[in-house]
Amino acid sequence: MANKDLNKAKAAKKDEFYTRLEDIEKELKHYRHHFKGKTVLCNCDDPRCSNFFRYFTLNFEVLGLKKVIATCYKNQDVDLFSQHECEKAVYQIYEGDKNNNRKVDDDEIAVKPLKGDGDFRSKECVALLEEADIVVTNPPFSLFRDYVALLVQYNKQFLVLGNKNAIKYKEIFPLFMANKLWVGVMPMTREIYFDVPQEYIDEGLRMKKDRTIVKQGDKYMARSPSIWFTNLEHDKRHEEIPLFKKYTPQEYPTYVNFNAIEVSKVGDIPCDYDGLMGVPITFMDKYNPDQFEIVGMSLDLADMSVIRERLGRNDGGPTFYIEKNGELVRLYDRIVIRRKVKK
């Protein structure tokens, strides 16, 4: 195999993060009313081992589903991934308990071949996407931009896992601004553990990646800064952030390179300030579109010419700065918001 193909294969292996059933159950319980009479697609899942497919088949009647479809990329072998030398990809369909024995029997799951490799962007997989009402899965993190773009293009409702840093992607953040995408119910500060291939674990232990590979009970798992992304409504999205602090110029300095004030903690958003404010990305965990408007992000709004003039150089990528004791202090990425004044 060429080095290029092997690198693709290794990258694909690093996208194989298998979501635990308990994490799926914890999040999905908040959306049950959305699923009645709907067709659900899990289009980045091996239906033979996917906990998403398992969840929806086991809860088919409880949720009142119409149909569940699951597909995956055909090759699970790192040495063959890019050569397409393995068996044909398949997709599976489940349409409920046919014999009323309250079990999911093998003969109740229709197994059908795919002509291609099961890539979610392929024509036949897009046809399955068009049939679906709601998409729920854990897509490859490296293809997250393409994946969400496809869901938006076909106007699908969805609940998917992704790296929390995806909020900052130039292709993703505008969806948050337009209220076409938001964070799920699970807090952004809570960590998710995934089952991963053994070679990923071996590499992590060899490289001493203590923050990535951790032992849970009697097995090793991968820890990932992942969150749920969705366009399904949930109650948490409309809970107001309690505001009690008062604005003072001393406590809330104005940025050196953008006309907005710095709010270092979401809990410190002032209740009496109507101008622009920069807040940490964790604000998205509490964002209520009835209470706040998202204006933009420091990556796009920061005027770095001011910083170059002061420092005589670029000091990293675009972001906001404050001045403290005569020194410029570089801040982490900020989301710029404005409080909506109730009429």
Q: Is 332:280 a contact under the CB 8 Å cutoff?
A: yes
Please name the amino acid found at residue 222. Answer: A
CB atoms within 10 A of CB 235: 8
Tens of pLDDT, residue by residue over 296-307, are 999 999 999 999
**Contact of 334 with 298, CB cutoff 8 Å:** yes
With a pLDDT cut of 90, the percent of the chain lying above it is 67
Ranking 86-95, 131-140, 169-178 by mean pLDDT, the lowest is 86-95
Tell me the CB-side half-sphere exposure of residue 204, using CA atoms within 13 A. 19
Domain map (residue ranges) of the chain: 3-233, 239-339
Give the tokens for residue 77: 């072998």
User: For residue 178, what are the CA distances in angstroms to 15, 159, 160, 172, 289?
Assistant: 29, 17, 18, 10, 10
Note whether 284 and 176 are within 8 A (CB): yes
- Tell me the per-residue pLDDT of 34-47, one tens digit each, with 9 for 90 and over: 999 999 999 987 76
How far is residue 61's CA from residue 36's CA, in Å, rounded to a whole number?
Answer: 9
pLDDT of 12 > 90? The answer is no
* 286-291: average pLDDT: 96
Rg (CA), the chain: 23
Its pTM stands at: 0.88
